[in-house]
Chains A and B, each alone.
Chain A
Amino acid sequence: MPQLRMTGRGLWITALIVPPLAFVALFIVYPIISAFAYAFFDWQGLKRLDFVGLENFHTVLFVEPYRSWTLNAFKNNVIVFFALMVLQNGLGFILAYALWRELPGARFHRIAVFLPVVLSTIIVAYLFKLFYHPLFGVVNISLKSIGLGWLAQPWLGQSGTALGSIIVAQAWHMVGFPTLVFLAGMQRIPSEILDAVRMETESEWVKITKIVWPLVAPSATIVFTLLFVGAFNWFELPYIMGGLDGSPFGSTDVLGLYFYRTAFGNVSAGQQDFGLGSALAVIIFLFIAVVAGVITTRLRAREIQL
């Protein structure tokens, strides 16, 4: 068995590795494990009572009203994921392609597209809340001024439009990110390949589907995985625009909000239950970890090494 000798180099490496490891252990591994542990106990406020095994998990998944709350929030997260896949990543890809092809004004647009990403989420949320204001909002006023007044509505107050309105705000805010990642991927495509394509076809469509899309697969892996994690951890925008209860009547409720108000309570409506909240956190964490793992391996497999 080789002995680890504490030479100068060994010490140096240890000194470099231990602080970050300790940091990760203390601030990431420990909280996750303790949340796991919390989920198996009954709580009264912040006072830990008896060990209850899987009771909390059973409650949030199978006992009313938690069951319908969990399902409703989960359903909304799924909607958010697919909608953003189209609005944020799909649009991001098209924008990236347009920027890559250096259409007129590309330099200006490169900045313009990325600018909203830099804004704080809070600012974006309040901005869009004002846009959607039923009486003074830009959206309704614009609709009325072009004779489409019948389309004006309380966007954030109806179950049919509230979630969609928040998704649009999110897509506007973050579309620059997939754009940037896709653009970087496109710029890595060797020019010989592109020259070769040009000799074969003039069709942009063929070029996109046969060459560009397969070659930006690594970028797609990144933005798809991050979008998945982001969509199921979604919190800030719905919190500010829909409120902690997912107003109106749960139509903007997502797992993040549901977890928060279950674990920490809601001053103006409900009670806190740390055990149920922790159980939810564990379920959300496991779900994201497993699915994100599967997505990553599946998407990695289709990446082409040049």
Chain B
Amino acid sequence: MKKTILRAGAVLGAVLVAAPAFAQELTFWSWRQEDRAAYQQFINTFEAANPGITVKFETFEAANYNTILSTALAGGTGPDLAQVRAYGGLENLASGDYLEPLTVDMIPALADFAAPALAAESMRADGTLYAVPFASQSQLVIYNKAIFDANGIEEPQTWDELKAAAQKLKDAGVIPFANGTATAWQNETVTFGLGSSLMGKDFYNELMAGKTDFTDARFTDALGAVAEVAASYFPDGFVGLDYPSAQQLFSSGMAGMFIGGSYELSTFKSQNPDIELGIFAAPGKTAEDAKLVGLYFDGGYAINAAGTNKEAATKFINYLASHEFGQAMANTLNTVSAVPGVTFENPLLAEVAELNTSSIPYLMLVHFRFGEPSGSVLIQGEMQKLFAGETNPAAIGEALTNGLAAWYEPFKK
């Protein structure tokens, strides 16, 4: 009897010790419920190549994802790996020491990633990297090819051509731009999707060098030009038009153009599979001015610093940084993967990647969302005021510079 118990105990002990070697289960959190099927495929590929590791993909509501994730990490019930936001959203999480710092030793593929992509997932203070970037987004102008062809319109090369094209559509009874500004963050999208080329690269570089601020005429003139286009060529009552309605106006073919992110392309396609889309970077004043899209990185994949399966998690994150994964992501999810060397089957995506070679960062998100009041909060409210005729571009420049001076060192007087 005693022997039997001893034997049973020995077997049980052996099983317990060996169990992790048999199967390691990783949990992987995301806010992309709509990408669940695709991620399951990616995970199957990984599991096939790495027997013994299984990955469980779980999704949470996008708007509250950061709160849910940070609460779980703080409470010790976080996942092994998680999709995390970029810039200010990442700093919030990483500054709590919840995420494992990543190095090229751990993930050799990182060595080839673009610097801005890595910067998006690093702490500004010491440059420590906390996540493998997954995709970039670009703010630009999307147009309905059929409507452009029917009205004999070409992609505009100058600001005047853009206005002429909009006028042509308006005369033909088509809404030129579908955009509305009732949803606060759409104001930021519209401002930089349309105005980046007017602001220009020089303004951006000088702003970053601390040589100028938002009272710069290149910036405020751009705001004025954007507001002028909005007043003439956005739908009637656009200040009361919310984001989903604006998307519908465009995808239903009632409007010719939509100022928005590259993330809209797949949405429009799914809302109306027959729609033929084209894209261009909003032009500058003259044809010689560089046409710039507003570029930013969406987020990355991070490892829980307190996770128990770090070895397996490192294997999985290496897969997420691999060319194989980046290519699969670009092909199935139609996003501009941040993995270097990925090619795009979808011609629109290839064009986005092409446009990305001439860009400035999507300003407020990339540089001014690290304190309160954030540049985004300010520009969104101020642009709504401008559209309502309750402020002017010069006053916005003042409001931005003074508001940001609360935490942005170069603006402090």
Query: Footprint of B on A, CB under 8 Å?
Result: 44-47, 64-66, 129, 132-135, 140, 152-159, 243-245, 247-250, 262, 264-273
Contacts and interface: CB of A to CB of B under 8 A. Distances in A.
Given A129-B242, A153-B240, A158-B239, 17 more contacts: A44-B96, A45-B70, A46-B71, A46-B73, A47-B95, A47-B96, A154-B238, A157-B180, A157-B240, A159-B388, A248-B381, A248-B385, A265-B66, A267-B85, A269-B376, A270-B372, A271-B371
A135 B74 contact: no
Contacts of A269: 184-185, 188, 369, 374, 376-377, 380
Interface centre among B62, B181, B240, B374 (most CB of A within 10 A): B240
Contacts of A140: 237
Contacts of B372: 65-66, 262, 270-271, 273
Interface stretch (B86-94, B199-207, B211-219): B86-94
B224 to A, nearest CB: 18
B92 A272 contact: yes
B109 interface: no
Interface string B226-241: 0000000001111111
20 contacts: A45-B92, A45-B95, A46-B70, A47-B96, A64-B406, A65-B372, A134-B240, A134-B241, A152-B237, A244-B184, A245-B184, A248-B384, A265-B66, A267-B63, A268-B185, A269-B184, A270-B372, A270-B376, A271-B92, A271-B370
A271 B374 contact: yes
Interface string B159-194: 000000000000000000000111111001000000
Nearest to B74: A46
Interface residues of B, number: 52
B288 interface: no
B240 A44 contact: no
Contact of B183 (A135, A247, A262): A247
Contact of A156 (B182, B371, B376, B388): B182
A132 B240 CA distance: 8
B253 interface: no
A268 B70 contact: no
Nearest to A266: B377
B239 A154 contact: yes
A154 to B, nearest CB: 2
Interface in B340-380: 369-374, 376-377, 380
Nearest to B66: A265
Contacts of B384: 247-249
B167 to A, nearest CB: 20
Closest 8 CB pairs between A and B?
A: A154-B240, A134-B237, A157-B240, A157-B239, A154-B237, A268-B185, A47-B96, A249-B381
Interface centre among B66, B237, B245, B384 (most CB of A within 10 A): B237
Contacts of A133: 240-241, 245
Nearest to B370: A271
B271 interface: no
Nearest to B68: A264
B240 A158 contact: yes
Contact of A271 (B67, B71, B235, B369): B369
A45 B96 contact: yes
A71 to B, nearest CB: 15
A249 to B, nearest CB: 4
B95 A44 contact: yes
Interface in B12-67: 62-67
Interface centre among A66, A129, A243 (most CB of B within 10 A): A243
B403 interface: yes
Contact of B240 (A156, A266, A268): A156
B97 interface: yes
Contacts of B238: 134, 154, 157
A135 to B, nearest CB: 6
Contacts of A155: 240
A84 to B, nearest CB: 22
B149 interface: no
Contacts of B374: 269-271
A158 B85 contact: no
A66 B373 CA distance: 9
Given A45-B96, A158-B239, A272 B67 contact: yes
Contacts of B105: none
Contacts of B237: 134-135, 140, 152-154, 157
Contacts of B95: 44-45, 47
B390 interface: yes
B97 A250 contact: no
